[in-house]
């Protein structure tokens, strides 16, 4: 039961302060009134130490699915959250559900309780639940969010799985290169003598000497370089330029455009289908794309829509968004079936995004193998070339 601090007046007009327990503020005021204390200030004591924790896609999907299923079955929202709280195994999730339960018990809505969780829930999800509360279909909003985050989780899992091999290959390449420069190349210095050493071998020897003599400077430089790159990429103007250049890369830019379009279409379908007005839906959808350049462009789209232009014409020439999306939205606007077409289009783009992701990752593996071959091959050539020259001179 929540505990409150209160400040009030007695019948003798004496100011009194203290603590009291009650299920909610209204009940607590009545309890104090029964004690002839007329409180004018009542504040709940925070019983849990809540730290900002952003839930991952899998956790968001599970939460939405379980909540939506219980609400569809007619279980009240407070009872649903109490069930989720009692079955939560993760301590962080338990605190989140407890925070939601306590906030709703004060008479607040679920969307307000989610906003009060300090960034735990994405803005998209909060807006969806807010729209569901306004239309009386919060259970449907929850189930839509479950589908949305399940798809996002599957895509994230696929990306992580597909990137495992290239990352391992990159690590092996770096390890082999360092081993060759640190141990193999120096061992040949005494064998080569002062004869006519090929240029590639002299370069390798120079690199090897530098690595073995100044390894600590190299480590410091790498750390500073990584920190510098991270800092630079956080600058809004740089983010904007980098995300724009991504879309201009041959082949890769086209595949990214399909993935970005799929994200936008899926989110727009969910928001608009739940009753969110078009401008808010476009604004919320653009933030899920993952490209700062496109977020900026969609701010311009919202201005055009506010001025009376159609959504289809406003997004027609945006770099990074497939033109097929504009054509489909146009048909929906003309036929009055935009919500149905958005849903169908989102499903189609999800399939295309999955295929585009597979093609994109399939380009990385051969590129890494070629890079490893070139690096290791160049080092071996630099080592073997003078040995072959020396061998031929003895014949």
* CATH number (domain holding residue 65): 1.20.81.30
Model confidence pTM above 0.75: no
Q: Are residues 280 and 141 in the same domain?
A: no
Q: Considering the domain boundaries, does residue 39 fall inside one? A: yes
Q: Are residues 336 and 194 in the same domain?
A: yes
Q: Considering the domain boundaries, does residue 164 fall inside one? A: no
Q: Could you give the 3-state DSSP secondary structure of residue 106?
A: coil
Q: Are residues 28 and 64 in the same domain?
A: no
Q: Residue 49's pLDDT is what?
A: 47
Q: Considering the domain boundaries, does residue 157 fall inside one? A: no
Q: Residue 391's pLDDT is what?
A: 64
Nearest to 361 by CA among 247, 245, 256: 256
41 forms beta bridges with: 7
Q: Considering the domain boundaries, does residue 81 fall inside one? A: yes
Q: Which residues contact 94 (CB under 8 A, 6 or more apart)?
A: 85, 88
Q: Are residues 291 and 233 in the same domain?
A: yes
Q: Considering the domain boundaries, does residue 214 fall inside one? A: yes
Q: Are residues 13 and 125 in the same domain?
A: no
Q: Are residues 136 and 225 in the same domain?
A: no
Q: Are residues 34 and 65 in the same domain?
A: no
Q: What single-letter DSSP state applies at residue 55?
A: P
Q: Are residues 370 and 341 in the same domain?
A: yes
Q: Are residues 328 and 388 in the same domain?
A: yes
Nearest to 68 by CA among 123, 149, 153, 155: 149
Residue 287 in contact with residue 347, Cβ under 8 Å? no
Q: Considering the domain boundaries, does residue 302 fall inside one? A: yes
Q: Are residues 19 and 71 in the same domain?
A: no
Q: Residue 221's pLDDT is what?
A: 93
Q: Considering the domain boundaries, does residue 169 fall inside one? A: no
Q: Could you give the 3-state DSSP secondary structure of residue 45?
A: coil
Domain count of the fold of the chain: 3
Q: Are residues 97 and 26 in the same domain?
A: no
Q: Are residues 233 and 378 in the same domain?
A: yes
Q: Considering the domain boundaries, does residue 12 fall inside one? A: yes
Residue 100 in contact with residue 110, Cβ under 8 Å? yes
A 10 A CB-CB count for 243 gives: 20
Per the structure, the complete domain to which residue 221 belongs is given by: 178-395
Mean pLDDT by runs of 10 across the 395 residues of the chain is: 76 81 76 80 62 80 93 91 87 86 86 85 86 85 88 82 80 84 73 66 83 88 93 90 91 84 84 80 84 90 88 88 87 83 80 78 80 82 72 60
The b-or-e profile of 248-282 (16+ CB within 10 A means b, else e) is eeeeeeebbbbbbbbbbbbbbbbbbbbbbeeeebb
Last residue of a domain, one of 150, 167, 195: 150
């Amino acid at each position: 039961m929540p505990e409150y601090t209160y400040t009030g007046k007695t019948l003798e007009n004496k100011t009194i302060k203290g603590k009291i327990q009650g299920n909610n503020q209204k009940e607590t005021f009545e309890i104090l009134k029964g004690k002839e204390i007329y409180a004018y200030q009542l504040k709940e004591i925070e019983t849990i130490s809540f730290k900002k924790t952003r839930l991952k896609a899998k956790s968001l999907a599970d939460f939405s699915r379980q909540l939506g299923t219980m609400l569809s079955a007619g279980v009240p929202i407070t009872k649903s959250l109490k069930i989720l709280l009692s079955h939560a195994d993760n301590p962080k999730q338990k605190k989140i559900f407890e925070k939601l339960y306590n906030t709703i018990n004060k008479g607040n809505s679920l969307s307000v309780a989610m906003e009060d969780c300090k960034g735990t829930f994405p803005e998209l999800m909060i807006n969806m639940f807010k729209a569901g509360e306004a239309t009386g279909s919060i259970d449907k909003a929850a189930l839509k969010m479950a589908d949305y985050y399940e798809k996002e989780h599957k895509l994230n899992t696929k990306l992580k799985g597909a990137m495992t091999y290239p990352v391992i290959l990159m690590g092996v390449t770096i390890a082999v290169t360092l081993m060759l420069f640190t141990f193999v190349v120096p061992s040949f210095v005494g064998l080569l003598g002062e004869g006519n050493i090929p240029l590639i071998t002299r370069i390798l020897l120079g690199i090897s000497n530098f690595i073995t003599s100044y390894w600590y400077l190299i480590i410091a430089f790498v750390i500073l370089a990584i920190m510098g790159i991270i800092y630079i990429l956080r600058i809004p103007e740089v983010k904007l330029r980098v995300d724009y250049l991504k879309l201009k890369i041959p082949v890769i830019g086209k595949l990214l455009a399909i993935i970005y379009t799929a994200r936008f279409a899926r989110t727009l379908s969910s928001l608009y289908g739940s009753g969110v007005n078009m401008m808010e839906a476009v604004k919320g959808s653009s933030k899920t794309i993952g490209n700062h350049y496109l977020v900026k462009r969609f701010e311009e789209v919202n201005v055009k829509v506010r001025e009376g232009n159609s959504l289809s014409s406003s997004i027609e020439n945006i770099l990074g968004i497939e033109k097929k999306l504009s054509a489909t939205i146009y048909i929906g606007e003309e036929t009055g079936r935009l919500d149905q077409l958005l849903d169908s289009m989102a499903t189609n783009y999800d399939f295309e995004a999955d295929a585009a992701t597979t093609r994109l990752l399939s380009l990385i593996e051969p590129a890494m193998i070629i890079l490893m071959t070139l690096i290791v091959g160049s080092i071996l050539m630099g080592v073997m070339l003078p040995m072959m020259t020396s061998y031929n001179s003895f014949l």
